[in-house]
A and B are shown apart, each in its own frame.
Chain A
């Protein structure tokens, strides 16, 4: 079993989830409560990775972070390195790719918070930021957790984007899904079998836990 690839996938998934919590939360907040007319455009852009082939997304990310792009040039000046075929480049791509899995559950959760509660907090003199922290986050906690779990699981399972942006460098960009592809190509069916089974088991356990926990939280709400 390619433990190095498994470790890399977990690291990538964790980093992606953390970045998405920070980036996705304000974005989800804005989508949930903004009254701007062009809001639907932002929603559509965020949802794009759901429908685009990962190769298309990967291709554009590759171009966008390449050394000739503004982003790549700034990155090269600061770090001296290149984004494509690096862990950082992979992280950028993963964040974009898993964005809808963070933003959509959060939008649903924020939208489910009674607006009167937010207004009640404002009228008590509590700032917008503190209201978000003390009222919205606790009440949307389950949606926020769902967002984290789905983003993590989705990143562990990504393949096309990683292959386009990261390539296949052991210990740097070879994630578990790439490793399975390699094993199959080199006719190491036993290795592919084991790694695949591990991934299926992991994904199933994560999803089963998520759903059972949601059901329980729902029932607690019902019975009280």
Chain B
């Protein structure tokens, strides 16, 4: 799809909406996620593009087909919810639906207690439930949510994140959620599409995308901390032997060849003081602690193992191990936690 003006969106995307109730559209700010969502809703018009939903054509610029937002039955939950400020909660929910459907939603979303209040007199989490209830009361075929948690304060965000997936799954309407927060993505999604600079780079089951980013760009976007240039030295018995910096590393042989990047998630790196002991861990890398920073319950430990390696351990174990910069430690990475990405 190409949009008027300078912004180019090249988003080829097919989603199994009926198999995966919640799809997350993930990417950094400015990637074009919201624009893509607005195109789906019919709020933006592409210069060229094709949008199919089930067996209906929503937009086909080649044949001059265009459905207005009203004809698409795609519910939209805006980032700041866009509740009508002059109408009570009840009238917001009933804005475009029969009284019955609205009453059902008021009940399901636990809104009856403040049905007579105006939106500005309720909390952010409650506003979000009103926005969802309003969208679902109109009985949409598809639900689009733009950063639904970003307007909430930190405490409400954690609480609502847990609720939201349940609400979306129970709604029985396929939904597409835009977010740039990977914790939200993991918490909400079945299926995930990664978007960077106007392009969809990878789609797939959410765990698959996080565990096996297809390219270095995706790895960077989904926040895999360690993406390291590696050389394939040899292959044997289903294993690949790599050289990263000056250090040997092993991983499963997925048939890769040539120059590759090894991606290791920081939470898959364990730290140990024992110089050597029998274990199933094949990748045992001797290194030195360069820096430690505490991030809430987690400690981010930057190691030098012949190449920079970031480990994410609990703050408690960092304290127990009495980690200090300059110390010598072993970093342990399971063979199955090293994923190869074709470089280039």
Give the B-binding residues of A (Cβ under 8 A): 114, 116-117, 119-127, 134-135, 138-139, 224
Contacts and interface: CB of A to CB of B under 8 A. Distances in A.
Contacts of B73: 125
Interface stretch (B18-26, B57-65, B82-90, B300-308): B82-90
Nearest to B96: A124
A139 B82 CA distance: 13
Which secondary structure dominates chain A's binding surface?
Answer: helix
List the 4 closest A-B pairs by CB distance, nearest first. A124-B96, A123-B76, A120-B82, A116-B82
B78 interface: yes
B68 to A, nearest CB: 7
A12 B105 CA distance: 51
A116 B41 CA distance: 13
Contact of B69 (A114, A122, A138): A122
Of residues A124, A127, A135, which shows the largest number of chain B Cβ atoms within 10 Å of its Cβ? Answer: A124
Given A126-B70, A126-B95, A117 B84 contact: yes
18 contacts: A114-B82, A116-B80, A119-B76, A121-B95, A122-B43, A122-B68, A123-B75, A124-B75, A124-B134, A125-B96, A125-B138, A126-B70, A126-B96, A127-B70, A138-B86, A139-B86, A224-B118, A224-B120
Contacts of A121: 84, 95-96
A182 B167 CA distance: 75
Contacts of B120: 224
Interface in B118-169: 118, 120-121, 134-135, 138
Nearest to A120: B82
- Interface residue SS majority, chain B: loop
Contacts of B84: 117, 120-121, 135
B213 to A, nearest CB: 33
Contact of A120 (B68, B78, B121): B78
Given A117-B82, A139-B85, A224-B121, A123 B95 contact: no
A224 B42 CA distance: 34
B177 to A, nearest CB: 16
Given A116-B80, A224-B120, A224-B121, A122 B86 contact: no
Contacts of B43: 119, 122-123
A116 B78 contact: yes
B74 interface: yes
A219 to B, nearest CB: 15
A123 B134 contact: no
A117, A123, A138, A139 — most chain B CB neighbours (10 Å):
A123
Contacts of A117: 82, 84-85
Contacts of A135: 84
Contacts of B76: 119-120, 123
Interface string B92-136: 000110000000000000000000001011000000000000110
Interface residues of B, number: 24
A138 B86 CA distance: 7
Contacts of B121: 224
B133 to A, nearest CB: 12
Contacts of A119: 41, 43, 69, 76, 78, 82
Given A116-B82, A126-B96, A139-B85, 15 more contacts: A117-B82, A119-B82, A120-B76, A121-B84, A121-B95, A121-B96, A122-B42, A122-B69, A123-B69, A124-B75, A125-B96, A127-B70, A224-B118, A224-B120, A224-B121
B158 to A, nearest CB: 26
Contact of A123 (B41, B80, B86): B41
Nearest to B78: A116
A120 B138 CA distance: 12
A200 B65 CA distance: 59
Nearest to A119: B43
Contacts of A126: 70, 95-96
Contacts of A116: 78, 80, 82
A135 B78 CA distance: 16
Contact of B95 (A114, A124, A138, A139): A124
A127 B70 CA distance: 7
Nearest to B95: A124
A179 B95 CA distance: 53
Contacts of A224: 118, 120-121
A87 B134 CA distance: 51
A204 B316 CA distance: 73
A126 B94 CA distance: 12
A127 B69 CA distance: 9
Nearest to A138: B86
B84 to A, nearest CB: 6
A147 to B, nearest CB: 19
Contacts of A138: 86
A125 B82 contact: no
Contacts of A127: 70
B86 to A, nearest CB: 5
A120 B130 CA distance: 13
Contacts of B95: 121, 124, 126, 134
